[in-house]
Amino acid sequence: MTEFDFIKKNLRGVHNYLPTPFHSDYRLDSYGMKDNVSYHVSTNHRDMTITVGGGYGEGFTLDPEEHRDLVEAAVEGASGKIHIMAGVVGGYGVQKLMARNAENAGAGSIIVFFPRQQTPTVDIAYSYLRSLAESVNIGVIIFPFGTHELWTEVLEKLADVPNVVGFLAPNVNPEYTVEFGKTVNKVVPGRYIWIAENENHAMPSFAHGCEAYTAAAPAIVPDSSWEFWSHGVAGDIEFMGRVFEKMVSPINKIRSFKPGHGISGIKVALEILGRHGGPPRPPEFSVEKDDREIIRDILLSHSETRHIVEGR
C-alpha cells in the first residue's frame, strides 16, 4: 500500500467541516480552533476527518497567513489522532500558496475548490489541477463544478497523478451526485475515494460506492453522524434513514430555521456547548439574540447534547 493509498483509506468516513472561530473583532482565534479540534480527540473521532478553511470554514475570507495559522492550530489540536484536511480556495497563485502552507503546517490532505469564474475546458482544468497537485506531496481531493462530462474526463486524466486521491461530487441534486460518482467509478474503477456533500446527497450515494460525506452536524453530534455513515456504507438503508430523521435532521435545523444561519448557527451551537465560535466575517451575519434561545432548545432536545447544555 502506497502512502496515498493509505491517505485514501484514511479519508473514509465522516468529514467534519468545522467553522473558523473568530474573536469579536474578526481576528482569527487560533486557540479556539485548536481547542475545538482537541474536543474531538477526547470524544468520538472514529472514521473522522476534520476539514478547516474550506467554504463552510470561511476560507474565502482568510488571507494566506491566517490560513496557515488556522491549519497549524487544527493539526496541533489533532495530536496525530485525526486526519486534518485543509480547504484551498481562491485563484492559481493563492491556491498554490495555501496548498504549500497546508503541507508545511502538517495537514494530511487538501481539498481544492476549483475556481468558478468560468467553465474551463478539459485541458485547462487538467493542467491547472495537475500543476497544483504536483506542488505538494500530500493527498489532494478535487471539488469540481461544471458539466458531468467535462469533469469525468478531467478525473480520468488526473488518474496518473498519484496524490490526487478523491473527489467531492458536485451537489447539483442527489440524482446528479449519484450519476456523477457512478460514472467516475466506471471510467477509473477504484482509483478515487468518492465523497458526497451533506446527508441528502450521501444517502442515495452510499449504495453506489460513496465512502465518505461532508457535513456540519458532526461538529455538534459526532456519535449520531458516525451512526448515520456506518449504517449507510454497510447497506443498512432503513436504519440509516432512521438515524438521519431522529438524530441528524434535528441538528440540521440549526442551520435552516432562518435564512443565513448556515455558518453562524453552528458557531452559536458550539458556544452553547462550551466551545469556540465567534461571529462570522462579513458579509455573513450573526444570529440574533432571540434565535440563540431556539438553538439552545434544539440542543436541549437532543440526547447527545442535552447533558452538555444542562451541565453548563
Structural domains of the chain sorted by starting position, each given as residue range(s) with its CATH number in brackets: 3-236 (3.20.20.70)
How confident is the model at residue 289, as a pLDDT?
86
Report the distance separating Cα 210 and Cα 214, nearest Å. Answer: 12
Report the distance separating Cα 99 and Cα 139, nearest Å. Answer: 10
How confident is the model at residue 259, as a pLDDT?
67
How confident is the model at residue 260, as a pLDDT?
64
As a residue count, the chain comes to 312
How confident is the model at residue 312, as a pLDDT?
82
User: Is 240 buried (19+), middle (13-18) or exposed (0-12) by CB count in 10 A?
Assistant: buried
Residues contacting residue 40 through CB under 8 Å, at least 6 positions apart: 16, 48, 50, 82, 222
- Give me the residues of the chain with pLDDT under 50, please: none
How confident is the model at residue 73, as a pLDDT?
98
Report whether 148 contacts 179 (CB < 8 A). Answer: yes
Closest CA to 177 of 169, 186, 185, 168: 169
What pTM does this model have?
Answer: 0.95
Give how far Cα 82 sits from Cα of 137, 179, 195, 277, 308, Å. Answer: 19, 31, 18, 20, 23
Residue 99's CB is within 10 A of a number of other CB atoms, namely: 21
Adjacent-strand bridge partners of 16: 50, 215
How confident is the model at residue 172, as a pLDDT?
81
